[in-house]
Chains A and B, each alone.
Chain A
Amino acid sequence: MRADEDTAVDGGDADGATGGDTGLQPERTLLAWQRTLIGVVIVVLLYLREPFQDGGVGPGSGPDPLYRLLVVLVVAGAAGVLMVHLRRRWRVTDRGLHDDATQNPPAPLAAGWAVYLLSGSAAGFALLVAVSAVV
């Protein structure tokens, strides 16, 4: 697949790795990863927060604080692992300029397992929120 007539891939020009946006695409991707991981941390912290109403036990009081803390630590830990992996990948690819194997900018930016770890963490967290609503 070539990008000769491409003007729609985020504004890159048509020369691929020799074009003027070399390094900008990986940087945009790194920023997208960071935005997403920050979002993960913010949402789990929202879950950690005490409810605004005076809840006793039962519906409305939210799940047990210790259970919530455990969930938050696991999901935020996964986000931390991903952040470390991405920063490391960014460093070893010369700030997204070239992968040692291909000499092109690294694509994909993160390893395959990172995609599954992120989506698995998000899916697991969503399921836990659902479970704590009905149990």
Chain B
Amino acid sequence: MADVGRWRSPLIRRAERDEGEEPDYRFTLANERTFLAWIRTSLALVAGAVAVLHLVPLDWRPELKTVVGLALTGLAVVITVYAPLRWRRVQRSMRLGEPLPLSALPVVVTVGIAAVCAAVLVGHYWR
């Protein structure tokens, strides 16, 4: 059993190829699709940011527009940085036969989007 507490650069693939054993290919592909679903989530947030900042003529205070746009792009960046790291960690856990690591990302994204929704309401009613 490998030392699971040791963190390694996510870019080192070959070194971890030999760890544990190859999981069922369907789990590996499901992990890949989960990564892609996170990326699509971040793309949706960026699309919202582009609309608020650049496309749709909103009659909001300019500073609120900027805050909403930056919050959406900030969430998107967090997701896109975290998604590949999580993909690697899950793959490694599956190779070593360990329980899958829990992730705080769904909670973070939910709270973030709720905050953005509240800001949108504020922008709509307090001009």
Contact = CB atoms under 8 A, between A and B. Distances in A.
Interface stretch (B54-62, B103-111, B112-120): B54-62
Interface string A36-59: 100110110011010111000001
A12 B43 CA distance: 29
Contacts, number: 153
Interface size range on B against A: 35 or more
Interface size range on A against B: 35 or more
Interface string A110-129: 10100110111011011101
A121 to B, nearest CB: 9
Contacts of B23: 1
B29 A107 contact: yes
A26 B33 CA distance: 10
A63 B32 CA distance: 35
A3 B43 CA distance: 32
A110 to B, nearest CB: 7
Interface string B38-71: 0110111111011101111100001000100110
A10 B30 CA distance: 8
Given A9-B26, A28-B29, A105-B25, A125 B54 contact: no
Interface of B: 11, 13, 21-33, 35-37, 39-40, 42-47, 49-51, 53-57, 62, 66, 69-70, 73-74, 76-77, 80-81, 83-84, 87, 94-95, 97
Interface of A: 1-3, 6, 9-10, 12, 16-17, 21, 25-26, 28-29, 32-33, 35-36, 39-40, 42-43, 46-47, 49, 51-53, 59-60, 62-63, 102, 104-110, 112, 115-116, 118-120, 122-123, 125-127, 129-130, 132-134
